[in-house]
Amino acid sequence: PAFVPGQNVYAAEFVPSFQKS
Amino acid sequence: QDPLTATMLATAPPQEQKQMLGERLFPLISQMFPDLAGKITGMLLEIDNSELLHMLESQESLEAKVKEAVAVLQAHQAKESAT
């Protein structure tokens, strides 16, 4: 399937800074 | 917190720009989909920064994109659990 930005289920999960150690 | 501007973004390196945008998008997405917020934010961060800035200003366009991403993600998960 064509790659559509914003629809890529394999994109890395975003971790907000307040959850980082 | 001040709104994020294109000028502010331009002063940061590319990878940091995505993090800055993600920090703003994440809380908004968390309100809609608390369990999927990290994944959805990650998916949306592949979109052009200029479009992401617009989405931060327009609740409507953000919601539309988030729903699109959730639909794609759920369809993918359904397909995976079926196999």
**pLDDT tens per residue across span B41-59:** 999 999 999 999 999 999 9
The answer to whether A9 contacts B76, with C-beta atoms less than 8 Å apart, is yes
Q: Which residue has the higher pLDDT, B61 or A20?
A: B61
Q: φ, ψ for residue B42 (rounded to 5)?
A: -60, -40
Name the residue of chain B whose CA is nearest to A10's CA.
Answer: B43
Of B45, B48, B72, the CB nearest to A14: B45
Cβ contact B73:B66 at 8 Å: no
* Secondary structure letter of residue A18 according to DSSP: G
Instruction: Report helix angle B59-82 to B37-44, nearest 10.
Output: 110
User: Secondary structure of B3-46 in the HEC alphabet?
Assistant: CCCHHHHHCCCHHHHHHHHHHHHHHHHHHHCCCCHHHHHHHHCC
Q: Which residue has the higher pLDDT, A21 or B71?
A: B71
Give pLDDT, residue A18. Answer: 76
Mean pLDDT over A2-11 rounds to 87
Residue A20 pLDDT level (bands cut at 50, 70, 90): low
The answer to whether B46 contacts A6, with C-beta atoms less than 8 Å apart, is yes
